[in-house]
Structures are given as structure tokens and as C-alpha cells.
Amino acid sequence: MAARRSTRQRVARTTVEPLSYPPVPSSGMNWLKILVPVLGVLLLGTSFLVGVLWTKLSYVQSGAAASCTTSPLSSDCLKSYAKELKLDKKKFAQCLDSGSKKELVNADVSQGSTLGVTGTPATFINGYLISGAQPYDNFKRIIDFLLAGGDLAKPDETVRDLVTPATGETQALVSNKKASVDLGGAPVRGSASSAVTVVEFSDFECPFCGRMFTQTLPQLQRDYIDTGKVRFVYKQFPLTSIHKNAQGAAEASLCALEQGKFWEMHDKLFTAMNAKTQ
């Protein structure tokens, strides 16, 4: 009897005691332990790349800005002007970098030298040379004289002081010898039927040409070009011996001409250069 009771007690104890099993690993927890460090590494890597790119962009932008501050006619600036003028940037850059307009610029320089141009600006009015950035009034007097049928080889009292050298001077402000200026494919403002043609040989880096742009050309535009009395032609004459960026600017203007925006680039270049010299 006692043995039976002891057996029942052992069975009871056996049935009520919980079974002990080894712990089951949680697959979710294992993935989390792996994923968290991976995400951390990716985040650090991304932050590093963003920092590198930002630094590089800031360097490029500051470099371009410094370049434009140093010279408004640097290659970087010329390309930024093309962007502002909404030119095809890729086409403009290829044109400028290839130097494809160099021969056209040099042809203008050769022509100007043959005609007696030695400095800029040099302006021919119906073939008569006006040297330097002279006051608008001198241009007006010559143009009005020619519009009235005058011949500078026989100047009257209205222009004689401009054509005849003053006492002690060896050269007059306006030549009385007429030259034949071939316009070729040069950019033109105004009507082809105008009675007077003004051809300017100019340099975008020349401060006197900048003065011509701000002080004389606007009045010529208003009084004569817009009224159909004068057509204005631009010829390239970069003084490369003293203006290191003039050749590039000249070529850039012809690259803009290729896209129909010579005068917009012409105005932009002189405006930028004048702002630098002020």
C-alpha cells in the first residue's frame, strides 16, 4: 500500500512539473540585429558622399565666381553668358572650345590692318576713318554732312575742323581719304538701304571701345539706326598683345552669331567689361 502511494506521488510530481525545452531563436530579432548596423553604415556612407559632392560643387562655383571677378571675359564667364542668353549651351561650348571662329576673327583683323586700323575703336563712316572713341557730336556732324550729300574730300565749314588737322597736329580726327570696306558676313544693325554705313572695328576688352558702347552707340541707335538712316556693322579687332581675353571674347560673339544672338552677346560682353572697369 505504501509502495503504491509512493508511486502515485512520483507520477503526480512528474505530471505537474513543467518540461524544460531549449529556447527557440527568434528569426525576427536576428534580422534586426543585422539590419541596424548595415543601415548605420549606409547612412554614414551617404552622408560622406553628400559632403564630398557639396564641397566639390562649392569649390567649382567659387572658382567660377573668382574667375569672373578676375576677368569678365574668361572662358567660364563666356559660357555663363551663353546660358543667360538661352543659347544652346553644348553647341556654344563646342564652338568656343574648338576655336572654329578664330579664322573669321583673324580675317577681320587682317582687313582692318590693311585699311590702316592700328587701335580701337576705329570707325569707318561710308569709308572715311574716324579714329578713337570720339564724342557723339563728331559722329553726328559727319553723318549729317554725308546724308546731305557732302564729300569729306571737300569738307565745308560744318566739318572742316574735324577733317583738317589742327595746327601742330599731323593727323585729322576724320580722314578725308575714302576706303573700301568689305562687309562680308559681319553682323549688322539697321536697314541695308540706309544711305550711310558705319563700320566699327572693335575689341571687347578695350576700355575705349566700352566708352563707345555706352556713350556713342546708344545715341546712334536712337537717332540714325532705328530711323533707317544708318546701318551699323561690327568688325573684330582684338588687341591680343595687351588684351589676353579679347580673342576669346571675339570668337564667343561669333559663336553667338551662329545661333542668331550676336548683338545680345555683344551687349553682354561690353556691359560686363564696363562693370569690371568701374
Per the CB < 8 A criterion, the answer to whether 68 and 239 are in contact is: no
Amino acid 59: pLDDT: 39
Q: Identify which of 250, 233, 236 has the alpha carbon closest to the alpha carbon of residue 199.
A: 233
Q: Please report which residue ranges of 101-173 form alpha helices under DSSP H.
A: 102-114, 136-147, 160-163
Omega cis (within 30) before 121? yes
Q: Is 241 exposed, middle or buried (0-12, 13-18, 19+ CB in 10 A)?
A: exposed
Amino acid 50: pLDDT: 55
- CA angle, 243 as apex, 241 and 245 as ends, to 5°? 120
Amino acid 6: pLDDT: 54
Q: What number of CA atoms fall less than 13 Å from residue 175's CA on the CB side?
A: 17
Which residues fall within 8 angstroms of residue 213, CB to CB, at 6 or more apart?
A: 267, 270, 274
- CA angle, 181 as apex, 234 and 248 as ends, to 5°? 35
Amino acid 277: pLDDT: 73
Per the CB < 8 A criterion, the answer to whether 203 and 239 are in contact is: yes
Look at the block and give the residue holding cell 576724320. 174
Amino acid 53: pLDDT: 59
Look at the block and give the residue holding cell 544693325. 189
93-277, CATH topology level: Glutaredoxin (3.40.30)
Amino acid 55: pLDDT: 46
Exposure b/e, 163-172, CB count within 10 A at least 16 = b: beeeeeeeeb
- Beta-sheet pairing, 122-125 with 128-131: antiparallel
Give per-10-residue mean pLDDT for the chain (278 aa).
53 52 56 64 65 48 55 95 97 98 98 96 97 94 97 95 86 93 96 97 97 96 98 98 97 98 98 86
Domains of the chain, by residue range, sit at 30-70, 93-277
In order of 151, 154, 232, the CA distances from 177 in angstroms are 10, 10, 20
